[in-house]
């Protein structure tokens, strides 16, 4: 009897222990699945976020091959690396900062320059010196907005060596001055008498076909400014830049002198009907232009004599550019001729329009001078 009761008691104890173990097992399984279900929810949530991010054009890469990297550490940092998804309607585009206007006095100017013509000059060298100049001899300041677009026009024939020096010095000067510019070489073809003023009219007309210029600088190819503070842009009145050349002892030769380098806005140029077309040979046309300016109620302005200094490349007088014997008579009649002789009556023929790396060349035929009146 006693043994039977002892056996039943042990049986009950064993069943109770088994029941406790079963209960413990069930509780552990519940806890196990609860914890890991949360972990899987996190994994799939991040996976979906990653897919959404990739659809929006963003790609994020995590280096799981680095030492001590684990998947858990990836999950721990994923929230920091993934972007915050915002509704497309609330997306704000990046603000584009407007380009400021160029300063009146550019800070990069150096002042007085050393100009010399002894060293050999090549176009290859000049091109390497000016990598930011684009085809056709054009340049726009990258960091500011110039107030004017300037066409620089040079009448030309048989001066290739002078042109190399001019480009060598002027391109860097113009870039430091923050000028938005293009350079146009107007080449008179043939060997007829040279006509500087008519070529300048051609340059004005052809430059406007190429771009929307509002300022025009007219320069001889043998004149180099000796100070980069002599700013090549247009002013409220017609501007005479080359007021103190070395060949004149760095003095203005006479009060009405307007030769060498000058500048007019488009409005000023049209007001005087451009330049005269009938000055064949050397001399007189710049005095006629000065008369046109004053007769139309404008005045010539000039820089300080210490800034408007120029060096001229020495050369012999060009063939077929002899002094014009009629120039003095023509100058006295500007008031009568300027309405019927100028940009409004210009005729010419373009034979070549070609853009080189440092300038644009326009080769033209402009006719020939009328026969001189017979003197009995």
Residues labelled as active-site residues:
220, 222, 282, 285-286, 312, 315, 317
Please give, one letter per residue, the 3-state secondary structure of 226-238: CECCCCCCCCCCC
Angle of CA points 195, 151, 130, to nearest 5°: 110
- The beta strands (E) that lie in 221-359 are given as 223-225, 239-240, 244-245, 261-265, 309-312, 349-355
Instruction: Please answer whether residues 211 and 137 qualify as being in contact, where contact means their C-beta atoms are separated by less than 8 angstroms.
Output: no
CB burial of residue 289 (10 Å; 0-12, 13-18, 19+)? buried
Beta-carbon contacts of 74 under 8 Å, excluding residues fewer than 6 positions away, are: 62, 64
Question: Residue 170: in which H helix or E strand, if any?
Answer: helix 160-176
Question: Residue 271: in which H helix or E strand, if any?
Answer: helix 266-271
- The beta strands (E) that lie in the chain are given as 138-139, 149-156, 180-188, 215-219, 223-225, 239-240, 244-245, 261-265, 309-312, 349-355, 360-365
Helix 285-295 / helix 196-210 crossing angle, nearest 10 deg? 60
Beta-carbon contacts of 111 under 8 Å, excluding residues fewer than 6 positions away, are: 227, 228, 229
Angle of CA points 264, 270, 275, to nearest 5°: 75
DSSP state of 117: -
Nearest to 307 by CA among 228, 240, 218: 228
The C-alpha atoms of residue 223 and residue 163 are separated, in whole angstroms, by 10
Instruction: Please answer whether residues 168 and 130 qualify as being in contact, where contact means their C-beta atoms are separated by less than 8 angstroms.
Output: no
């Amino acid at each position: 009897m006693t043994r039977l009761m002892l056996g039943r008691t042990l049986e009950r104890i064993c069943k109770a222990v088994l029941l406790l173990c079963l209960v413990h097992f069930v509780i552990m399984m519940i806890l196990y699945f609860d914890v890991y279900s949360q972990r899987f929810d996190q994994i799939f949530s991040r996976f979906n976020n990653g897919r959404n991010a990739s659809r929006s054009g963003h790609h994020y890469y995590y280096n799981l091959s680095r030492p001590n990297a684990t998947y858990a550490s990836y999950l721990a940092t994923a929230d920091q690396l993934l972007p915050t998804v915002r509704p497309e309607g609330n997306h704000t585009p990046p603000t584009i900062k407007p380009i400021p206007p160029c300063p009146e006095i550019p800070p990069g100017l150096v002042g007085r320059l050393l100009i010399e013509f002894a060293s050999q000059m090549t176009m290859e060298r000049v091109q390497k010196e000016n990598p930011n100049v684009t085809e056709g001899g054009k340049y726009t300041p990258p960091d500011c907005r110039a107030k004017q677009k300037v066409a620089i026009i040079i009448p030309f024939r048989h001066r290739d060596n002078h042109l190399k020096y001019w480009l060598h010095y002027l391109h860097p000067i113009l870039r430091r001055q923050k000028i938005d510019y293009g350079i146009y070489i107007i080449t008179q073809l043939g060997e007829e008498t040279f006509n500087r003023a008519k070529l300048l009219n051609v340059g004005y007309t052809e430059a406007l076909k190429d771009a929307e210029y509002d300022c025009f600088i007219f320069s001889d190819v043998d004149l180099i400014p000796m100070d980069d503070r002599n700013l090549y842009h247009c002013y409220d009145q017609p501007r005479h830049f080359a007021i103190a050349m070395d060949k004149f002892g760095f003095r203005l030769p006479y009060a009405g002198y307007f030769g060498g380098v000058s500048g007019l806005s488009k409005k000023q140029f049209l007001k005087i009907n451009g330049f005269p077309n009938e000055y064949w040979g050397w001399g007189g046309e710049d005095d006629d232009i000065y008369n046109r300016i004053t007769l139309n109620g404008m005045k010539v302005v000039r820089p300080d004599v210490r800034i408007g200094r120029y060096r001229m490349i020495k050369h012999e007088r060009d063939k077929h550019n002899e002094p014009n014997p009629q120039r003095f008579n023509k100058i006295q009649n500007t008031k009568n001729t300027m309405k019927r002789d100028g940009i409004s009556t210009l005729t010419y023929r373009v034979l070549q329009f070609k853009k080189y790396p440092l300038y644009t060349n326009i080769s033209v035929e402009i006719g020939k001078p009328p026969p001189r009146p017979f003197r009995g």
